[in-house]
Amino acid sequence: MKEAGAPVHVVRQMLRDLPTEQRLFLTGQLSALILAFLFRYCLPPSHCRPNVRHGVATLLGIGLSVYCFGWLTVFLVGEVILCYLMLLMIDPRRIQIYTLLITMVYLTFFHIRRYANPLVDELDFTVALMTLTQKMSRFAFEYHDGTVRNVQSLTPTQRRLAIRSPPGILPYLSYTVGFLGLLAGPLCSFNDYKIFINGEEKKGNPNVAVFKKLWLCCFLLAAHIMLLDQFSISNDPNNSFLYIFWELYLTAASKRPKYYFAWTLADTINNAAGFGYNGISDDGEERWDLLSNLNILRIETATSFKMFIDNWNIQTAVWLKEVCYDRSPFNPLLSTFLLSAAWHGVHPGYYFTFLTAVPVTLAARRIRQTLRPWFQHTSWSRVTYSLITWICTQMAMSYTVAPFILLGLGPSLQLYRSLGFCLHILPLLLLLILPHRQRLETKGGSSKELPCDSNYNHLKKET
């Protein structure tokens, strides 16, 4: 009997030894995973009214929040109710601006609280608020599109996501604080969530996809544990230029499995409940990637700065594009990066990273437009171009995200000073030297949609 209970004892001991924040997150998400299976099997849309599913999802979400955050749940639910009242009372022509402003101020207050008490022994409440901010602001923009804007002025994606009338309080609570996406997202549109709850989309069986993603989660968790604290940015003045870049790359790469694990597990939880089905692909395979937040292979083999960004934290990129990049009246790229920095927190390193990303992104775009055609004549030249651009992309990304890891302004400046601010100066010089080519835009006036901003079910219907 003792031997049979050994694995359970090992797991219990491992959970007990984890820091409080990691233990709460892991046990909370594993509980959500079990609840997701029960939700799919016990409350299928064929046997339950939508309001029952909404109500259960809401109650489970609030219960999970109480377990993970305790009394802070009051602030979570309170913000949702505040935004819902705003939705009913404020002019739809301004609701999106007020909602984004209020939710960002609310989030920033708790970011400051976390910044002032960095060693507090609790699960970071701001992580749940970050997802909540995305959901409520995105909802407000989609409601604005559906009630104020001309249908002809909307892009196909905006038309599909537009919300024509305010929902009841229960669907709104279920969408915002439901247990499926409470702790780590991912972000989804309200219309897609409503389709899932109502059972209006013909579904496949998620079990195979869930099984594969759970195995991937195990591998990523093992990689995170093995790489944890193995590499760091030393800021040793005796290190050579190339060694510093090598150190930056190893440090950044060693931090990524933590995010890979959290986002893959969050995606798995939604799939286990039957949410995330994205139709049948052209090769006949079921797609369960509607809510996927990353593409690990494309990240690790990215040959451009844009390719890396487009496949990292995908749903956040969709949110930034929808609420800022496509609508900003001035410098959409700078506005988007500043919003992203404020959304992440108040550490100076976040702002340093995203401000650094602006010239790097513009220069990378200009280089690709200018130099790529020269390397497309033979297979050898294409391989050479891919290899060179992969190395450059990894160097640029590692350089750019270093302040994100260091967090402080002083260590970030010290690091960049040791590298002569090379990837600040070089992009600016390239932007001055290389010719500028006007980017093509879609008929709706916005740049080409992100590959992640596609609901395969609806695209197939439209064709």
List, by residue number, the catalytic residues: 313, 344
- State phi, psi for 275 to the nearest 5 degrees: -105, 135
Q: Which of 291, 292, 277, 273 is nearest to 57 (CA)?
A: 273
Amino acid at 123: L
Helices 50-69 + 190-198 axis angle, to 10: 120
Q: Which of 328, 336, 330 is nearest to 354 (CA)?
A: 336
Residues in CB range of 421: below 8 A, 6 or more apart = none
How far is 29 from 182, CA to CA, in rounded Å?
A: 9
How far is residue 401 CA from its own chain's centroid?
16
- Hey, is 19 helix, strand or coil? coil
How far is 310 from 288, CA to CA, in rounded Å?
A: 18
How far is 260 from 148, CA to CA, in rounded Å?
A: 38
Q: Is the peptide bond before 411 cis (omega within 30 degrees of 0)?
A: no
Q: Quickly count: other Cβ atoms within 10 Å of residue 88's Cβ.
A: 9
